Chain A
Amino acid sequence: EAQLLESGGGLVQPGGSLRLSCAASGFSFRTYAMAWVRQAPGKGLEWVSSIISNDRTYYADSVKGRFIISRDTSKNTAHLQMNSLRAEDTALYYCAKDRLRGGGDGAFESWGQGTLVTVSS
């Protein structure tokens, strides 16, 4: 069974940076697409970014140019580097595993418990 454990959240000032990590276990990490999905307090789900086969990456318009998704297959860990943070980036950030190997299809069958990012002065 896939397990995902996020870390790296915290309080950061506007304009600051933060790096989130997602430690994966229970599946062949290198063969699955991975994603980050966030949820602002009291709000719905918002897809942030995905990394698929060949490390091709995709981003929501709201984070494009500021966030970078990556993965370290030697450590079974995905990362989200968040730069130029804004108040509207405040949210619980979930790591999610695609249901399909390779390029995936964008449906997320496994989720971590999330790590909270608060952007405030």
Chain B
Amino acid sequence: IVMTQSPATLPVSPGERVTLSCRASQSINTNLAWYQQKPGQAPRFLIYGAFTRSTGIPARFSGSGSGTEFSLTISSLQSEDFAVYYCQQYNSWPLTFGGGTKVEIK
């Protein structure tokens, strides 16, 4: 299953609402996770089941979608949210990640 994220880069100002998109090449139900990665750091687990936040993840992060279309929304971008975001399907083997969306400062 091919995961496609768009856009590749997203210039955003702090405080703005941002939505990242992720598309699966075939239906994955809601078996989708989102991760955040900052430079020099390991990925951080944000969301699973398409919309359930992992422990300790702020409420400004929300996920939605099912089937083949998914999105991650950050309601009001904070300075610590500038990072690369990856989606990943775990509906079937082999597990696959999207190419990532880099959220950068406008």
Contact = CB atoms under 8 A, between A and B. Distances in A.
Contacts of A105: 31, 48, 90
Contacts, number: 61
Interface in A82-119: 94, 99, 105-114
Which of B44, B49, B97 has the largest number of chain A CB atoms within 10 A?
B97
Interface in A23-51: 35, 37, 44-47, 50
B88 interface: yes
B67 interface: no
B42 interface: yes
Contact of B43 (A59, A61, A106, A111): A111
Interface in A62-87: none
A105 B89 CA distance: 10
B94 interface: yes
Interface residues on A, range: 20 to 34
- Interface size classification for chain B: 20 to 34
A60 interface: yes
Contacts of B100: 44-45
A107 B42 contact: no
A41 B8 CA distance: 17
Nearest to B99: A44
A61 B98 CA distance: 17
Given A106-B90, A107-B33, A112 B95 contact: no
Given A108-B88, A109-B54, 10 more contacts: A44-B98, A45-B100, A47-B88, A47-B96, A106-B95, A107-B33, A107-B45, A108-B45, A110-B45, A111-B45
Interface of A: 35, 37, 44-47, 50, 58-61, 94, 99, 105-114
